[in-house]
Amino acid sequence: MRESKRFALLDDRPINKDAFVHEWPEAGLIVSDGPDDPKPSLRVEDGRVMEMDGVPREEMDMIDRFIADHALDLSVAQQAMSTPSEAIARMLVDINVSREEVSRLVAGCTAAKLVEIVGHMSVLEMMMGLGKMRVRRTPANQAHVTNRKENPALLAADAAEAALRGFAENETTVGVARYAPLNALSILVGSQVGRGGVLTQCAVEEGVNLRLGFKGLTSYAETLSVYGTEGAFVDGDDTPWSKAFLASAYASRGVKIRFTSGTGSEALMGHSEGRSMLYLEARCLLVTRGAGSQGVQNGSISCVALPESLPGGVRVILAENLLASMLNLEVASGNDALASHSDMRKTAKLMCQFIPGTDFVHSGFSAVPRYDNMFGGGCFDVTEYDDYNVIQRDMKIDAGLHPISEEEALTIRERAARAIQAVYKGLDFPSITEEEIEAAVTAMDSRDMPDRNVAEDLEAADAFLAGDRTVLDAIRALDEGGFPEVAERLLELTRQRVLGDYLQPSAIFDANFGVLSGINDPNDYRGPGTGYRLEGERWDKVRDIPQAKSPAGYLEGQGENPVERLKELGPAAKGDAPEVVIAVGPAFGKELTQTINGLPHDQVLEQVMTGIAEEGLSARLVKVHHSADCAFIGYAGAQLSGSGVSIGMQSRGTTVIHRADLAPLNNLELFSHSPNLTLESFREIGRNAARYAKGESVEPVPVKVDNWVRLRLIVKTMLLHRRECEEVDPDRPPTELWFDWEPDV
Which residue number, 496 or 651, has a Cβ lying nearer to another protein?
Answer: 496
Which residue number, 71 or 339, has a Cβ lying nearer to another protein?
Answer: 71
3-state SS, residue 155: helix
Sheet containing strand 55-56, strands side by side: 42-45, 48-52, 55-56
- The Cα 394–Cα 26 span in angstroms is 44
Site for another protein in 229-248 (CB under 8 A): 230, 234, 237-239, 241-242, 244-248
What is residue 555's DSSP assignment?
G
CB of 238 to another protein, least distance (A): 6
Which residue number, 449 or 503, has a Cβ lying nearer to another protein?
Answer: 503
Q: Which of 201, 297, 366, 607 is flagged as catalytic?
A: 297
CB of 216 to another protein, least distance (A): 6
Which residue number, 68 or 640, has a Cβ lying nearer to another protein?
Answer: 68
Cβ atoms 37, 114 nearer than 8 A? no
The answer for residues whose C-beta is within 8 angstroms of residue 348's C-beta and 6 or more apart is: 314
Q: Which of 142, 300, 302, 421 is flagged as catalytic?
A: 142
Which residue number, 425 or 476, has a Cβ lying nearer to another protein?
Answer: 476
The interface mask with another protein, positions 662-701, x = CB under 8 A, is ----------------------------------------
- The Cα 274–Cα 29 span in angstroms is 8
Q: Which stretch binds another protein (CB under 8 A): 98-106, 258-266, 633-641, 654-662?
A: 98-106
CB of 65 to another protein, least distance (A): 5
3-state SS, residue 202: strand
Q: Does 251 sit near another protein (CB under 8 A)?
A: yes
- The Cα 257–Cα 295 span in angstroms is 7
CB of 308 to another protein, least distance (A): 31
Site for another protein in 507-536 (CB under 8 A): 513-515, 517-520, 522
Cβ atoms 49, 78 nearer than 8 A? no
Which residue number, 54 or 514, has a Cβ lying nearer to another protein?
Answer: 514
Q: Tell me, rounded to whole angstroms, the distance of Cα 679 from its chain centroid.
A: 42
The interface mask with another protein, positions 277-316, x = CB under 8 A, is ------------xxxxxx----------------------
Q: Does 603 sit near another protein (CB under 8 A)?
A: no
Q: Does 109 sit near another protein (CB under 8 A)?
A: no
Which residue number, 287 or 581, has a Cβ lying nearer to another protein?
Answer: 287
Q: Which stretch binds another protein (CB under 8 A): 12-20, 76-84, 183-191, 466-474?
A: 466-474
Which residue number, 66 or 380, has a Cβ lying nearer to another protein?
Answer: 66
Cβ atoms 221, 251 nearer than 8 A? no
Q: Does 472 sit near another protein (CB under 8 A)?
A: yes
Q: Does 57 sit near another protein (CB under 8 A)?
A: no
CB of 483 to another protein, least distance (A): 12
CB of 204 to another protein, least distance (A): 14
Q: Which of 64, 116, 171, 615 is flagged as catalytic?
A: 171
Site for another protein in 437-456 (CB under 8 A): none
Which residue number, 226 or 291, has a Cβ lying nearer to another protein?
Answer: 291
Q: Which of 169, 273, 336, 629 is flagged as catalytic?
A: 336
∠ Cα 208 212 217 (to 5°):
155
Q: Which of 219, 225, 300, 363 is flagged as catalytic?
A: 363
Q: Which of 222, 266, 384, 414 is flagged as catalytic?
A: 222
The CA-to-CA distance between both ends of the chain, in Å, stands at 61
Cα-Cα-Cα-Cα torsion 207, 210, 216, 221, nearest 10 degrees, comes to 120
Q: Which of 51, 53, 144, 150 is flagged as catalytic?
A: 144
Q: Is 70 a catalytic residue?
A: no
- The Cα 238–Cα 207 span in angstroms is 12
Q: Tell me, rounded to whole angstroms, the distance of Cα 671 from its chain centroid.
A: 38
The interface mask with another protein, positions 175-214, x = CB under 8 A, is -------------------------------xx--xx--x
What is residue 521's DSSP assignment?
S
Q: Where are the alpha helices (DSSP H) in 369-405?
A: 385-395
Q: Does 215 sit near another protein (CB under 8 A)?
A: yes
Site for another protein in 486-505 (CB under 8 A): 487-488, 491, 494-501, 503-505
Residue selected from 476, 526, 543, 694 as contacting another protein according to rule CB under 8 A:
476
Q: Which stretch binds another protein (CB under 8 A): 58-66, 116-124, 156-164, 607-615?
A: 58-66
Cβ atoms 350, 380 nearer than 8 A? yes
Cβ atoms 143, 160 nearer than 8 A? no
Sheet containing strand 566-571, strands side by side: 566-571, 735-739, 618-623, 579-584, 645-649, 655-659, 669-671
Q: At what angle do helices 471-480 and 180-194 cross, to 10 degrees?
A: 50
CB of 185 to another protein, least distance (A): 15
Residue selected from 13, 17, 48, 253 as contacting another protein according to rule CB under 8 A:
253
- The Cα 322–Cα 329 span in angstroms is 10
Q: Tell me, rounded to whole angstroms, the distance of Cα 554 from its chain centroid.
A: 28
10 Å CB burial of residue 554 (0-12, 13-18, 19+) is middle
Q: Does 216 sit near another protein (CB under 8 A)?
A: yes
Q: Which stretch binds another protein (CB under 8 A): 62-70, 432-440, 573-581, 688-696?
A: 62-70
How many residues at the interface with another protein, by CB under 8 A?
73
Closest CA to 540 of 651, 436, 656, 403: 403
Q: Does 98 sit near another protein (CB under 8 A)?
A: no
* Residue 436, CA atoms < 13 Å, CB-side half-sphere: 23
Q: Is 45 a catalytic residue?
A: no
Q: Is 171 a catalytic residue?
A: yes
∠ Cα 686 691 693 (to 5°):
95
Which residue number, 489 or 723, has a Cβ lying nearer to another protein?
Answer: 489
**CB crowding 419-432: b at 16 or more within 10 Å, else e:** bbbbbbebbebbeb
Which residue number, 58 or 407, has a Cβ lying nearer to another protein?
Answer: 58
- The Cα 721–Cα 387 span in angstroms is 29
10 Å CB burial of residue 351 (0-12, 13-18, 19+) is middle
CB of 245 to another protein, least distance (A): 5
Q: Does 331 sit near another protein (CB under 8 A)?
A: no
Q: Is 142 a catalytic residue?
A: yes
Closest CA to 39 of 89, 113, 105: 113
Q: Is 535 a catalytic residue?
A: no
Cβ atoms 323, 118 nearer than 8 A? yes
Q: Which stretch binds another protein (CB under 8 A): 97-105, 269-277, 627-635, 658-666?
A: 97-105
* Beta bridge pairs of residue 296: 259, 331
CB of 290 to another protein, least distance (A): 6
List the catalytic residues: 142, 144, 171, 222, 297, 336, 363
